[in-house]
Structure 1
Amino acid sequence: MATDAFEELVEDFEFLEDWEDRYRHVIDQGKAMDQLTEALRVPATKVDGCASQVWLHADFSGGRLHFDGASDAMIVSGLIAILRALYNGLTADEVLAVDARAEMGRLGLNDHLSAQRSNGLRAMIERIRELAVAQA
C-alpha cells in the first residue's frame, strides 16, 4: 500500500536509470521540504539511532498522519521527504500496514544506502510506527 505521492516517486526513480541521478533526486526531495522550525527540534522529536541529527514531528489531526522532519545531512533530509510521501495522509492502521522495507526497495534504496544510513532509515520508520501504535 502506497500513497499517490509515493507512487509518483517510484515513477520518477524508474525514469532515472543511473543511481547517481537517483541519489541527487533524493537530495532534491529533501531540499524541497519546508524547514522544520527550531522550536520543534527538541529532544522529544529527536530520533535516536541515526548517524546524523534527525527530528520528526508528527500529528494525527483528523485521524491521519501528518509529519515533518529535518536533518543536518542532505541525504537524510531526502529520506525524510520520501517517508513523508510514503506515510503522510494515512490513518494509524494504514501506517502499520505499510511494508516500508518493500516500498523503499521499489526505489532501490535498500541496495544503495550505507549501513549507517540504513540504520537511520530503520530508526525513522520505527519512530513513525511507534507514533501510529500510540494512536491506534
Structure 2
Amino acid sequence: MFAFDDLSSVSLQELTSNANWQSQYRLITQWGKLIHHKPELRLETNLLRGCETLAWLTHVQKNDLHYFSFDSDSKVINGLAALLLSQVNGKTATEIGGINLAELLSLVGLEKHLTPSRNNGLRAIIARVDECVKL
C-alpha cells in the first residue's frame, strides 16, 4: 500500500484569490512540500510519460472512492500535482468525471505562466488520472 499525502490545506479558491502570479507561484511551491518523498512509488509502472522531470503516480480504489499518490523531485510539479489531486482524491468516478481538470487549470490561468515542460507534466498527470478512473 502506498502512502497518501494530506492535501486538505490545498485550496483552489486560495490560488484564484491571489491575482499576482508570484503569490500563486509561492503558494504552489508551498503545496509542493505536502508531497512527501515515496521511494516505494518510484517504479517503472508508475512513471508518468510526458513529464520532463521524473514523476510517479499511483492509484487505488477503496469501495467507490479513488485515491492517488504522487512523487517527484520538483517542488513545482509536486505543488501542481497537489492542486490537481486535491480536486479528485476521495471522490467517485462519477464525481471525478464531472470535473474538467484541464479547464479548471485554464480558468486559473496557470498555463500562461508555466513552461511548456510543466504544462506537459500537468497534462500527463490529468491523463493518468483519467486513465485510472476509467478502469
Q: TM-score, normalised by structure 1?
A: 0.85
Which residue of structure 1 lines up, in the alignment, with residue 28 of structure 2? 26
Q: Confirm or deny: 8 A CA contact 1:101 1:110 kept in the other structure.
A: no
Identity of aligned residues (%): 28
Q: Report matched runs for 1:3-14 at 5 Å.
A: 9-14=11-16
1:85 matched to 2:86: yes
Distance 2:96 2:16 in 1: 24
Q: What is the DSSP-based 3-state SS (H/G/I as helix, E as strand, rest coil) of the residue aligned with 1:119?
A: helix
4+ long deviations beyond 4 Å: none
Structure showing the higher helix proportion among its residues = 1
Deviation at 1:71, TM superposition (A): 0.9
Q: What is the DSSP-based 3-state SS (H/G/I as helix, E as strand, rest coil) of the residue aligned with 1:17?
A: coil
Letter of the aligned partner of 2:85 in structure 1? R
Deviation at 1:102, TM superposition (A): 1.5
Q: Confirm or deny: 8 A CA contact 2:105 2:111 kept in the other structure.
A: yes
Deviation at 1:9, TM superposition (A): 1.9
Question: Which runs of 5 or more residues in structure 1 are unaligned?
Answer: none
Q: What is the DSSP-based 3-state SS (H/G/I as helix, E as strand, rest coil) of the residue aligned with 2:52?
A: coil
* Count of residues in Structure 1 that have an aligned counterpart in Structure 2: 128
Which residue of structure 1 lines up, in the alignment, with residue 108 of structure 2? 107
Q: Confirm or deny: 8 A CA contact 1:45 1:56 kept in the other structure.
A: yes
Q: What is the DSSP-based 3-state SS (H/G/I as helix, E as strand, rest coil) of the residue aligned with 1:32?
A: coil
Which residue of structure 1 lines up, in the alignment, with residue 128 of structure 2? 127
Q: Confirm or deny: 8 A CA contact 1:93 1:132 kept in the other structure.
A: no
Cα RMSD for the two superposed structures: 1.8
Q: Report matched runs for 1:2-81 at 5 Å.
A: 9-33=11-35, 35-81=36-82
1:62-111 per-residue CA deviation (whole Å, 9 max, x = no partner) reads: 21111110111111010110111111111122222311112112322122
Distance 1:105 1:27 in 2: 19
Deviation at 1:36, TM superposition (A): 4.4
Q: TM-score, normalised by structure 2?
A: 0.86
Change (3 A) 1:114 1:56: same
